[in-house]
Amino acid sequence: MAKMKAAMAAVLVLEKEGVLQAFGVPGAAINPFYAAMRERESITHILARHVEGASHMAEGYTRAMPGNIGVCIGTSGPAGTDMITGLYSAIGDSIPILCITGQAPRARLHKEDFQAVDIESISRPVTKWSVTVREPAQVPRAFQQAFHLMRSGRPGPVLIDLPFDVQMAEIEFDIETYEPLPVYKPAATRKQIEKALDMMAAAEKPLIVAGGGIINADASALLVEFAELTGVPVIPTLMGWGTIPDDHPLMAGMCGLQTSHRYGNATMLASDFVIGIGNRWANRHTGSPEVYCKGRTFVHVDIEPTQIGRVFNPDLGIVSDAKIALELFVQVARERRDAKKLKDFGEWAGRCAERKKLMHRKTHYTETPIKPMRVYEAMNEVFPRDTIYVTAIGLSQIAGAQFLEVYGPRQWINCGQAGPLGWTIPAALGVVAADPTRTVVGLSGDYDFQFLIEELAVGAQFRLPYVHVLVNNSYLGLIRQSQRGFDMDFCVQLAFENQNIEDPSLRSYGVDHQAVVQGLGCRSLRVTDPEKIEATIREAQSMAREYLVPVVVEVILEKVTNIAMGTEIDKINEFEEIDCRHPEGLQGLELAGLLE
């Protein structure tokens, strides 16, 4: 046993649990913890410009690589409340991050002391566990419990609040005998898996819906193996995008009201059996259960028992970690294949592939101002196959999901349930901090970009290079489009006449992003000609490598473009032209039965 400050014991536990990186903002109430980190020099720290930004950096860091747990740190009061949005984003998408906050001394709690707030109670609804540690001797075990909870069952965030005097108190602690607690994961049984495969065998047009739980469990290779063994096409959810490469013959497209492919929705509507693995049946994927479920039998596999039946009641529910379930699915399917007891779904898979080949949206627009579809076409052309895309919410994210191409897990990093504006820049910085060797691309509309734009200075200071594609239409585009239902265009315009912009054609777009980006120490390029998008992106890639800072490519878009979406998966309004590749157009698709 050794005598040490409780703050030092906390840092030693972080080391034992594998923490290498933290993001945060130091302050008076958390300085003892920072002093321990400085003494150990084992955990690299990146200074955020806003504490909410630190929480999003931690989430990006976690999501970038299997096994990572991002840590965000802040002083008392407003630092903790600033990180609530990051905790909400993390719990919504089942992402483990550890939030550590300083707190006023125990004697000052409940006395309305400066920056003393009950962050334990405030954060409880958006964490797996939130605790103010009131006994110094409990500090190391609180951190041990935090990691156990973050990794067990459905992953998620934890907040630990440390009063100043608790951090400073001396305790006896033996780090040499410390071991992380065993992780608990619920497991499917063979009987359950066999039942699910029996139900699949009774179907004619089955699908696998692959959710983000497969990515969290690092089980994408198993998902692909299972699909190939059974010959069943895969519909990834937005959070599960990349579980199967976009160009895999069995990747049947995404389904949904917004972030979907035409062929994905058509295939879902034509199916008669669906097995969902690691997914939540989120409403933007399903629309109403009445339409989504009609004529289909469902199996639902999820790590969280309370998710089974939450949106609709499946015909079979299986509580299991996605990886454990998929290992069994592969094993049983292989046995049935070897015994020649697997049903052949080749004709159905072929029809799905034909839809995927023929049912596209147009991307090659040549107009100026630029249509957003052309931007994503250029991104697909320029960025390499292993690119990691990071994005938040809005028409830029929706169009990105409709038109970009993703080829592997953790290559589409998107805040799905919470969707906080401003998430993209700090999350992208967290991804770069986790793996500086990869091509990382941020994608934002102008409003998301402006929310936490100051975090670009973090990228310049800590040399975190990536390319940020900023599609600027000077609008809250998604809200403007949704306001069509109210016959209004109210308070969603970001445009104003900026007299500081020399080019009169750009003044009406308002904020001079180029000047702001450069003022924050980063590089920036602007493009107004659709024929120059690809060359500008390539130049940005070279600049990021040369200067080791974020490089922003601002693409000036036409101000109003409606992106395909609808109220049900069978009622999607396309708005723009459809690139139908059937020789007889839409009528040909109908005659061929591809829309059924």
Amino acid at 434: A
Give the number of other Cβ atoms within 10 Å of residue 584's Cβ: 11
Selection from 88, 80, 156 nearest residue 118 by Cα:
80
Largest Cα separation within the chain, whole Å, is 80
Place of tokens 């989120």: 282
* Helices of type H across 311-455: 322-338, 346-358, 372-382, 395-403, 424-434, 446-451
* Catalytic residue of the set 25, 215, 443, 525: 25
Q: Please state, in angstroms and rounded to a whole number, the distance separating the CA atoms of residues 86 and 99.
A: 9
Amino acid at 513: H
Place of tokens 């409606």: 562
Question: Catalytic site residue 291?
Answer: no
Q: What residues contact residue 590 under an 8 Å CB cut-off, 6+ apart? A: none
Structure confidence at residue 185 (pLDDT): 97
**Cα torsion angle, 82, 121, 58, 327, sign:** negative
Structure confidence at residue 523 (pLDDT): 97
User: What is the CATH number assigned to the segment(s) 2-177?
Assistant: 3.40.50.970
Selection from 415, 536, 565, 369 nearest residue 468 by Cα:
536
Residues of the chain with CATH 3.40.50.1220: 190-360
User: 575 — phi, psi (to 5°)?
Assistant: 65, -60
User: 44 — phi, psi (to 5°)?
Assistant: -70, 140
* Catalytic residue of the set 388, 406, 421, 589: 421
Q: Please state, in angstroms and rounded to a whole number, the distance separating the CA atoms of residues 520 and 469.
A: 17
Q: Please state, in angstroms and rounded to a whole number, the distance separating the CA atoms of residues 239 and 227.
A: 18
* Catalytic residue of the set 12, 14, 46, 51: 51
Q: Please state, in angstroms and rounded to a whole number, the distance separating the CA atoms of residues 209 and 353.
A: 16
User: 579 — phi, psi (to 5°)?
Assistant: -90, 80
Q: Please state, in angstroms and rounded to a whole number, the distance separating the CA atoms of residues 343 and 552.
A: 51
Pick left, alpha or beta for residue 183 (phi over 0 → left; psi -120 to 50 → alpha; otherwise beta). Answer: beta
Q: Please state, in angstroms and rounded to a whole number, the distance separating the CA atoms of residues 347 and 350.
A: 5
Structural tokens at position 56: 């999003």
User: 526 — phi, psi (to 5°)?
Assistant: -130, 140
Structure confidence at residue 591 (pLDDT): 66
Structural tokens at position 18: 């594998």
- 3-class secondary-structure state, position 275: strand
Amino acid at 122: I
User: 130 — phi, psi (to 5°)?
Assistant: -135, 130
With beta carbons less than 8 A apart as the criterion, state whether 538 and 381 touch. no
With beta carbons less than 8 A apart as the criterion, state whether 308 and 314 touch. yes
**DSSP letters for 52-105:** HHHHHHHHHHHHHSTT--EEEEE-STHHHHHTHHHHHHHHHTT--EEEEEEE--
Kindly give the pairing relationship between strand 412-414 and strand 359-361: unpaired
Q: Please state, in angstroms and rounded to a whole number, the distance separating the CA atoms of residues 244 and 406.
A: 9
Residues of the chain with CATH 3.40.50.970: 2-177, 363-556
Q: How far out from the chain centre does Cα 241 lie?
A: 10
Structural tokens at position 75: 């002083």
With beta carbons less than 8 A apart as the criterion, state whether 576 and 362 touch. yes
* Catalytic residue of the set 269, 476, 478, 506: 476
Q: Please state, in angstroms and rounded to a whole number, the distance separating the CA atoms of residues 71 and 148.
A: 15
Strand order across the beta sheet in which 21-25 lies: 44-47, 21-25, 70-74, 97-103, 158-163, 129-132
Question: Catalytic site residue 421?
Answer: yes
Which homologous superfamily is 190-360 in?
A: TPP-binding domain (3.40.50.1220)
Structure confidence at residue 467 (pLDDT): 98
Residue 394: is it exposed, middle or buried by C-beta count within 10 angstroms (0-12/13-18/19+)?
buried
Structural tokens at position 474: 């000077």
Tens place of pLDDT per residue across the chain (596 aa): 799 999 999 999 999 999 999 999 999 999 999 999 999 999 999 999 999 999 999 999 999 999 999 999 999 889 999 999 999 999 999 999 999 999 988 888 887 777 778 999 999 999 999 999 999 999 999 999 999 999 999 999 999 999 999 999 999 999 999 999 999 999 999 999 999 999 999 999 999 999 999 999 999 999 999 999 999 999 999 999 999 999 999 999 999 999 999 999 999 999 999 999 999 999 999 999 999 999 999 999 999 999 999 999 999 999 999 999 999 999 999 999 999 999 999 999 999 999 999 889 999 999 999 999 999 999 999 999 999 999 998 889 999 999 999 999 999 999 988 889 999 999 999 999 999 999 999 999 999 999 999 999 999 999 999 999 999 998 877 778 888 889 888 888 888 888 888 888 888 888 899 999 999 999 999 999 999 999 999 999 999 999 999 999 999 999 888 888 999 999 999 988 787 787 777 777 776 777 76
Q: Please state, in angstroms and rounded to a whole number, the distance separating the CA atoms of residues 210 and 214.
A: 7
On whether the 363-556 domain is CATH 2.70.150.10, my answer is: no
* Catalytic residue of the set 122, 316, 479, 548: 479
Kindly give the pairing relationship between strand 297-302 and strand 206-210: unpaired
Q: Please state, in angstroms and rounded to a whole number, the distance separating the CA atoms of residues 297 and 264.
A: 18
Query: Which helix (H) or strand (E) covers residue 119, if one does?
Result: helix 119-123
Question: Catalytic site residue 479?
Answer: yes
Predicted TM-score (pTM) of the model is 0.95
